[in-house]
């Protein structure tokens, strides 16, 4: 895999919106968080565009990404927010240009589509982690400190969850492999396409927000039938935020749904991991080598190698 250059103090960060646009008030609050830490922010064209739900046309959003990878004055790229629309940008990206100009590229939610396509088409490690929306209400120390630690070149980073978000062991065991995953809805959406996630030998992580229990079950069954889980080494379920039931109860919790669909696989499985749409967001290096130790008493997740150079 290609490791992008590490984050340095006072680095210049390019901010863009590959999907939906971000409100001006939220943007200002989030920008101040990074500037107060000494970083210089350059706002891309897409930040100022509104095309209904999109931050500009697909061409404008793709040009923003291509341009920031080509710009030597931009050191890393962080997405402002997710939303919807990254799928229309994928075929317009210049993957040869991106591979020739490796940089940290980070986001989550709808940005999952970009993270996976870039890493699979260029071999560049990408990062499922905080966006500007993460800090729209101010600093979140857990997220910012872990982001800097992961992007700055540390190795053997053991992720310690916040005390108010303990990890749950659904199936014990130990495994290592390349880390892949992201938003479940986005990953299922890409099944059958040329951008489908290739999961052989991977530690797979999944998260989602606002889904009905039956829809969560349906997506996991779909993923299983499509072979997404066949050869994975371990499964991490991130925060599942605002999951809901219908008037007629589905009858299972999200953990029970996971075990009903995946419990027969001989792999370690944990849930309630601090990544996704919740308050706490671990920076997850896509395609980097990690270890999952699903010990009943002390579960641990370790980023074994530095994902940057």
Q: What's the pLDDT tens digit per position in 256-267?
A: 999 999 999 999
Q: What is the pLDDT of residue 76?
A: 98
Cα→Cα distances 239→54, 62, 255, Å? 26, 29, 11
> Does the domain made of 12-139 have the CATH classification 3.40.50.10740?
yes
pLDDT value at residue 47: 98
Question: pLDDT class for 187, splitting at 50, 70, 90?
Answer: very high
Q: What is the pTM of this model?
A: 0.97
Summarize the confidence of residues 66-75 as an average pLDDT.
98
Q: Looking at the domain that runs over 157-303, which CATH code has it been given?
A: 3.50.30.60
185-191's contacts with Cβ under 8 Å and 24+ in sequence apart are 185/211, 185/219, 186/86, 186/109, 186/110, 186/112, 186/113, 187/112, 187/116, 187/223, 187/228, 188/219, 188/222, 188/223, 189/87, 189/113, 190/87, 190/113, 190/116, 191/222, 191/223, 191/226, 191/228
Answer whether residue 297 shows pLDDT above 90: no
Mean pLDDT of 82-102: 98
Residue 94 has pLDDT above 90, yes or no: yes
Separation in Å, CA 303 to CA 14, 49, 156, 235: 25, 37, 5, 15
Give the residue among 281, 309, 307, 252 at the shortest CA–CA distance from 133: 281
For the chain, what percent of residues have pLDDT higher than 70? 100
Mean model confidence pLDDT for the chain:
97
- How far, in Å, CA of 201 to CA of 253, rounded? 28
CA distance to 7, 31, 55, 60, 297, per residue, from 36 (Å): 16, 9, 26, 30, 39
Q: Provide CATH 3.40.50.10740 ranges for the chain.
A: 12-139
- Tell me: the pLDDT tens digits for 108-157? 999 999 999 999 999 999 999 999 999 999 999 999 999 999 999 998 99
Q: What is the pLDDT of residue 117?
A: 98
The whole-number pLDDT of residue 2 equals 98
Distances (CA, A) of 100 to 67, 91, 158, 178: 13, 18, 31, 22
CATH 3.50.30.60 residue ranges in the chain? 157-303
Q: Which two tokens stand for residue 106?
A: 């980070």
Evaluate if residue 52 carries a pLDDT over 90: yes
Closest CA to 191 of 166, 228, 216, 165: 228
For residue 112, the tally of other CB atoms under 10 A from its CB is: 26
Percent of the chain topping pLDDT 90: 98
């Amino acid at each position: 895999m290609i490791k992008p250059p590490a984050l340095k103090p006072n680095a210049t960060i390019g901010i863009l919106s590959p999907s939906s646009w971000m409100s001006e008030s939220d943007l200002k609050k989030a920008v101040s968080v990074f500037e107060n830490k000494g970083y210089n922010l350059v706002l891309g064209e897409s930040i100022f565009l509104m095309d209904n739900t999109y931050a500009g046309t697909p061409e404008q959003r793709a040009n923003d990404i291509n341009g920031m990878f080509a710009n030597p004055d931009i050191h890393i790229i962080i997405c402002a927010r997710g939303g919807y629309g990254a799928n229309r940008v994928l075929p317009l990206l210049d993957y040869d240009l991106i591979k020739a100009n490796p940089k940290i590229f980070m986001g989550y939610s709808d940005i999952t589509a970009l993270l996976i396509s870039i890493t699979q088409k260029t071999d560049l490690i990408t990062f499922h982690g905080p966006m500007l929306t993460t800090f729209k209400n101010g600093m979140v120390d857990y997220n910012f400190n872990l982001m800097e630690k992961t992007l700055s070149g540390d190795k053997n980073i053991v992720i310690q969850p916040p005390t108010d978000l303990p990890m749950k062991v659904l199936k014990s065991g130990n495994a290592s492999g390349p880390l892949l995953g992201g938003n479940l809805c986005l990953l299922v959406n890409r099944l059958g396409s040329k951008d489908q996630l290739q999961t052989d030998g991977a530690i797979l992580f999944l998260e989602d927000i606002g889904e009905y229990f039956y829809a969560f079950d349906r997506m996991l069954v779909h993923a299983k039938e499509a072979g997404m889980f066949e050869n994975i080494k371990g499964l991490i379920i991130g925060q599942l935020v605002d999951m809901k039931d219908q008037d007629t109860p589905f009858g299972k919790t999200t953990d029970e749904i996971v075990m009903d669909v995946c419990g027969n696989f001989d792999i370690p499985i944990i849930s309630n991991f601090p990544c996704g749409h919740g308050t706490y967001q671990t920076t997850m290096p896509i395609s980097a080598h990690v270890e999952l130790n699903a010990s009943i008493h002390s579960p641990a997740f370790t980023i074994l190698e530095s994902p940057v150079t």
